[in-house]
Amino acid sequence: MKLENLDKQALIKQIEELERLNEQLLKEKEQETRLTFDWTHNLGHWYWDYPANKVTFDPMKVAALGYTEDEIPKDVNYQFFTDRLHPDDYDMTMQAMADHLSGKKPVYEVEYRIRTKNGDYRWYYDRGAITKRDDKGKPLFLAGIVFDITEKKELQIELENKNKILAEQTSTDYLTRLKNHRSAYDTLRTFLEKQEPNTSLCVAMLDLDDFKKVNDTHGHIQGDQVLFEIANIMRRNTRKKDIIARYGGEEFLIIFPETTGRDAYKVCERIRMAIEDKYQRQKVNLTISCGIHVYDGGSASDFVHAADVKMYQAKHAGKNQTVL
């Protein structure tokens, strides 16, 4: 073969190789474009040579963590970043990457906290994808983009906390800090919706006997103090799973999940005797009447009404007693 033909073939191969590389670069550039978002605090792209475990990235990513370029190792691996993850976010972040590498998820996408040089944490939003695999389908290269979303997350957390406080305020009685009337009904309806066969659910209505005399004799400030004390007595004498609410005025309601009538009766008697014992030697002589009903069908209103009827039976029978 002539020398000039060899030169032509070599030139053709070089051109073909350049075209292939150019096509690959265009594909990777297109992938980068898909990973770009019009967000603030863009910390740039990252690239991961997976077999070599070598990560290249925009210096802004580590500058945001408080490091200078001189403090960054020459060759940075994946663990340089994962070692700085918040303990509560580590497993989630590693799982997100594992799911993408295994093909379970089309992209790697996660929000996590990462430790800065001074020990604080910043919130990052990280998104990436495999850009190249070998002929067996194993990952070769990944590319991604990362954003500092600390301000956004802090605002979000602040809003969530405010909403939580607001929800507590709208569902809590301001005086006793127990659930209020509306919240009690909402909770009871939820229990009835989830009520399973062969499980017992009880409701008790409790009403302070002759409480009007306390307000008339000692004033409403003293009356409010008594209601606060009664709520604490109920807390001390109920179980963790029991739900107490101030139903209105001097009336209280207790929901007893997965509880027999007999066990609910024991709890109510414990409350009744604790109140009697506390106030029998004080200037405020106070007792309480209780009515308990075991759920046998009907609405939440029917359920509460049945317990209310039994509470009035206790009143008519002489007060300071429990009727089941």
The CATH number given to whatever domain includes residue 63 is 3.30.450.20
Judge whether residue 86 has pLDDT over 80.
Answer: yes
Predicted local confidence at residue 72, as pLDDT: 84
For residues 109 and 203, membership in a common domain is answered with: no
Mark whether 177 and 292 lie in a shared domain: yes
Does residue 1 lie in a domain region? no
- Judge whether 204 and 254 are in contact, CB under 8 Å: yes
Helix, coil or strand: residue 200 = coil
Asked whether residue 136 falls in the same domain as residue 238, the answer is no
| The pLDDT of residue 264 is above 70 | yes
pLDDT at 18 over 60: no
Query: Which residues carry out catalysis?
Result: 250
Percent of the chain whose predicted confidence (pLDDT) is above 90: 64
Whether residues 314 and 214 share a domain: the answer is yes
Co-location of 145 and 219 in the same domain = no
Q: What is the pLDDT of residue 196?
A: 85
Lowest mean pLDDT among 67-71, 82-86, 94-98, 237-241: 67-71
The answer to whether residues 210 and 103 belong to one domain is: no
HEC readout, 91-103? HHHHHHHHHHHCC
H helix and E strand count, the chain: 10, 10
Q: What's CA 22's distance to the chain center, in Å?
A: 48
At residue 290, what are phi and psi to the nearest 5 degrees? -130, 140
Q: Quick check: is 81 in a domain? A: yes
Q: In this structure, are residues 187 and 304 in contact, taking their beta carbons and an 8 Å threshold?
A: no
Three-state secondary-structure class, residue 298: coil
Residue 185 and residue 310 in one domain: yes
| Range scoring the smallest mean pLDDT among 8-17, 49-58, 112-121, 290-299 | 8-17
Residue 199: phi, psi to the nearest 5?
Answer: -115, 140
- Local confidence band at 188 (pLDDT 50, 70, 90 cut-offs): very high
What CATH number is associated with residue 211?
Answer: 3.30.70.270
Out of 11-20, 50-59, 201-210, 245-254, least confident range: 11-20
Q: Please indicate, yes or no, whether residues 67 and 203 belong to a single structural domain of this protein.
A: no
Looking at residue 24, its pLDDT comes to: 58
Q: Is residue 315 part of a domain?
A: yes
How far CA 216 is from CA of 199, 222, 226, in Å, comes to 44, 10, 13
Give the span between the Cα atoms of 258 and 265, in whole angstroms.
14
- State the pLDDT confidence band at 292, using cuts at 50, 70 and 90: very high
The answer to whether residue 307 scores a pLDDT higher than 90 is yes
Residue 4 has a pLDDT of: 47
Regarding whether 298 and 193 lie in a shared domain, the answer is yes
